Amino acid sequence: MTKENWTIEIKPKKKWLDIDLKGIWRYRDLYYMYVKRDIVTVYKQTILGPLWFLIQPIFTTVMYMFIFGGLAGISTDGVPQPLFYMAGIMLWNYFSSAFNVSSNVFTANAGVFGKVYFPRLVVPLSGITSNLIKFGIQLLLFIAMYLYFYVKGASLHVNAALLLFPFLIFLTAFHAMSWGLIISALTTKYRDLTQLVTFGLQLFMYATPVIYPLNAAPEKYRDIIALNPLTPIFETFKYSCMGCGSLDWGGLAYSTLFMLSTLFCAVVIFSRVERNFMDTV
């Protein structure tokens, strides 16, 4: 009797830590396909295409200048208001987009997940990757604005902390994905949680130094805002390219440990829920 060579082996998963990480590499072609699909569907049947990624932050910046810079008079640490707000909006848009993609994994892909097997983590990973395209377009706009104000003589100070920029994006992406995966797992049973999260995400922006520097916050709230794991990311980015904000190595270490802890919990919970989520979605 000859031994047959099987290409696929189907076996039950019963352990909490039984996560198919190798499968993500085996299905890398599917990952690339999902990234391509996400990019194409955004541009398809639109008149302005990727220009929408520029229009949104520009109008948001103008609104923030009028409300927070004009009416509220919130300080921007001597940095030109358009540049300060654009820096925060750019990072926040990437975080919120990556979070939204990750938090809708099960509900948005139930039809596909119910028909064919592949590592479900491919979907959120492709989402945070495809959103880098949108982030890159907005980054080009930020660089153009930066050069304009630099030539005009604005007080802008680039320093070596700018080398941390790839790491800051990495932290932002996986903070968003880990939180989104936890929400995605919970919404398979509690659908109304989606509405709460959408509202909560809008409020959470104001607990993050997007439209204000941390040192402009009231002192009694400053320590609370510093507990936000996104705070060191925004502060470090603004410090690295504009000289405002602060570089807190302890804060970055805290943000990194927080990300690793929540990512581990998120992947375990996500892997557990994916086995029987079709019974509840």
Nearest 5°: the CA angle 235, 237, 243 is: 80
* Residue 15 in domain: no
Name which of 132, 126, 81, 134 is nearest 108 in CA terms.
126
User: Does residue 96 have a pLDDT over 80?
Assistant: yes
**CA–CA separation, 245 vs 233, rounded Å?**
10
Residue 112's identity, in one-letter code, is: V
Which residues, 6 or more positions from 23, have their beta carbon under 8 angstroms from its beta carbon? 118, 119
Residues 169-175 have a mean pLDDT of: 95
* Residue 80 in domain: yes
* Residue 19 in domain: no
Which residues, 6 or more positions from 210, have their beta carbon under 8 angstroms from its beta carbon? 88, 89, 91, 92, 234
Name which of 177, 171, 144 is nearest 237 in CA terms.
171
Structure tokens at 68: 């927070």
pLDDT of residue 170: 95
**CA–CA separation, 149 vs 85, rounded Å?**
14
Which residues, 6 or more positions from 61, have their beta carbon under 8 angstroms from its beta carbon? 82, 85, 86, 89
Structure tokens at 38: 């996400």
pLDDT of residue 56: 83
Using alpha carbons, list the distances in angstroms from residue 220 to 65, 135, 216, 225, 236: 26, 34, 11, 10, 22
**CA–CA separation, 18 vs 113, rounded Å?**
19
Q: What percent of the chain has pLDDT over 90?
A: 28
**CA–CA separation, 132 vs 139, rounded Å?**
10
pLDDT of residue 1: 46
* Residue 147 in domain: yes
Number of domains in the chain: 1
Which residues, 6 or more positions from 87, have their beta carbon under 8 angstroms from its beta carbon? 142, 237, 238, 241, 242
* Residue 217 in domain: yes
Q: What is the DSSP letter of 11?
A: -
pLDDT of residue 55: 82
User: Does residue 186 have a pLDDT over 60?
Assistant: yes
Domain region containing 155: 73-279
Name which of 261, 260, 225, 231 is nearest 248 in CA terms.
231
The answer to whether 242 and 83 have CB atoms below 8 angstroms apart is yes
* Residue 156 in domain: yes
Structure tokens at 16: 């909490």
Q: What is the DSSP letter of 217?
A: S
For 211-226, the pLDDT digits (tens) are 888 888 888 888 899 8
* Residue 38 in domain: no
**Helix H or strand E segment including 33:** helix 28-43
For 13-48, the pLDDT digits (tens) are 555 555 666 777 787 788 888 888 777 776 665 656
Which has the minimum average pLDDT: 107-111, 139-143, 153-157, 252-256? Answer: 107-111
Residues 142-163 have a mean pLDDT of: 88
* Residue 44 in domain: no
Class of residue 232 by CB neighbours under 10 A (exposed 0-12, middle 13-18, buried 19+): buried
For 245-281, the pLDDT digits (tens) are 788 899 999 999 999 999 999 888 887 777 665 444 5
Range picked from 6-20, 190-204, 231-245, 252-266 for highest mean pLDDT: 252-266
Structure tokens at 228: 């936000």
